[in-house]
């Protein structure tokens, strides 16, 4: 059985204890860390490592990759959509011939449960603010989904059950979803049309600017569970201040690094943990990370 010589999980990857034991059996030496290291600490930890595992929270710079002279494989314990949104310098890894893998479809169910829960609580005033002063059901609510990937489609399926009117904006049209009742609209038209909008975008894509919020208007709800803000922060704050019935609903992932800037802002309903986190999510993440590492060892990447 092929093994890694030295595996390093450089931060809190979310791999469960059973997974740690399985990875230990796949490497002659395995080190697991549970903090969020800076660049120099990453470099120090990777000395002699041929396998790096990392969550979405820790940047892995080109400098760190070049300094890890023995590195042969990078396993991201999170989704990988492309070089521009990844926290790993994919281009440097490619230049050096180091494979980088990501995982998909591991935390989606919890995200959908959160979005439904957050919307329902606001619409009915359960334990917090009441949207527009009177309780209302999801049925008939006009909901727009920006970014119709796996999570966006799952959200549409869930909202369809409750009778929402569904619209979407995406870089590419989705005929199969349009056949199921989703209506495509250009971005600004979608914002004007919908009562609530949920964004599902790659990290670092700030699609909603002041002009977009001006089209969105008042008495609206914005939801975000992407990795970090999908908007310009000052534009969001101005939009929230413009109408007492404007709300921003997000989890720990959606808030990203904006917590200090949005602290105390009226209309921000923030759940500090990542909504995808669950026992089931952790198991799926663990299994997929180990499967990718095994493929590398088997020469199947």
End-to-end CA distance of the chain: 17
Percentage of residues in the chain with pLDDT exceeding 70? 100
- Alpha-carbon distance of 289 to 104, in angstroms, equals 10
**Which fold, 4-104+279-297?**
Rossmann fold (3.40.50)
pLDDT tens for 44-97 read 999 999 999 999 999 999 999 999 999 999 999 999 989 998 999 999 999 999
The pLDDT assigned to 81 comes to 87
pLDDT, average across residues 87-108: 96
Six-digit token pair at 2? 């092929």
| pLDDT(1) > 80 | no
Q: Say which residue the tokens 């200090």 belong to.
A: 260
- Alpha-carbon distance of 255 to 236, in angstroms, equals 12
| pLDDT(148) > 90 | yes
pLDDT, average across residues 102-130: 96
What is the average pLDDT value for the chain, to the nearest integer?
97
What are the start and end residues of each CATH 3.40.50.720 domain in the chain? 4-104+279-297, 108-270
pLDDT tens for 242-254 read 999 999 999 999 9
pLDDT band at 106 (very low <50, low <70, confident <90, very high): very high
pLDDT band at 29 (very low <50, low <70, confident <90, very high): very high
- Tell me which of 3.10.450.50, 3.40.50.720, 3.40.50.620, 3.30.70.1280 is the CATH number of domain 108-270: 3.40.50.720
- Alpha-carbon distance of 142 to 267, in angstroms, equals 20
């Amino acid at each position: 059985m092929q093994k890694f010589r030295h595996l390093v999980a450089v931060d809190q990857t979310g791999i469960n204890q059973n997974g740690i034991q399985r990875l230990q059996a796949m490497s002659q030496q395995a080190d697991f860390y549970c903090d969020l290291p800076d660049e120099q600490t990453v470099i120090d930890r990777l000395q002699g490592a041929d396998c790096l595992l990392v969550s979405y929270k820790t940047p892995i710079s080109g400098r760190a990759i070049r300094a890890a002279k023995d590195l042969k494989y990078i396993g991201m314990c999170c989704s990988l959509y492309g070089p521009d949104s990844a926290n790993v310098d994919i281009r440097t890894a490619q230049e050096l011939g180091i494979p980088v893998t990501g995982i998909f479809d591991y935390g989606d169910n919890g995200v959908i449960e959160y979005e439904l829960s957050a919307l329902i609580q606001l619409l009915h005033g359960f334990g917090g603010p009441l949207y527009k002063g009177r309780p209302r059901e999801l049925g008939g609510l006009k909901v727009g989904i920006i970014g119709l990937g796996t999570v966006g489609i799952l959200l549409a399926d869930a909202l369809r059950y409750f009778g929402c009117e569904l619209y979407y904006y995406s870089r590419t049209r989705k005929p199969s979803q349009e056949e199921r009742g989703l209506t495509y609209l250009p971005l600004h038209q979608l914002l004007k049309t919908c009562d609530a909008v949920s964004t599902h975008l790659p990290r670092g894509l700030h699609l909603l600017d002041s002009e977009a919020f001006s089209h969105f208007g008042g008495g609206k709800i914005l939801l975000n569970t992407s990795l970090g803000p999908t908007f310009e922060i000052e534009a969001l704050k101005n939009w929230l201040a413009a109408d007492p019935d404007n709300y921003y609903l997000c989890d720990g992932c959606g808030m990203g690094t904006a917590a200090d800037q949005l602290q105390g802002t009226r209309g921000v309903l923030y759940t500090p943990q990542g909504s995808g986190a669950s026992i089931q999510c952790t198991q799926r993440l663990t299994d997929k990370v180990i499967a990718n590492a095994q493929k590398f060892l088997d020469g199947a990447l």
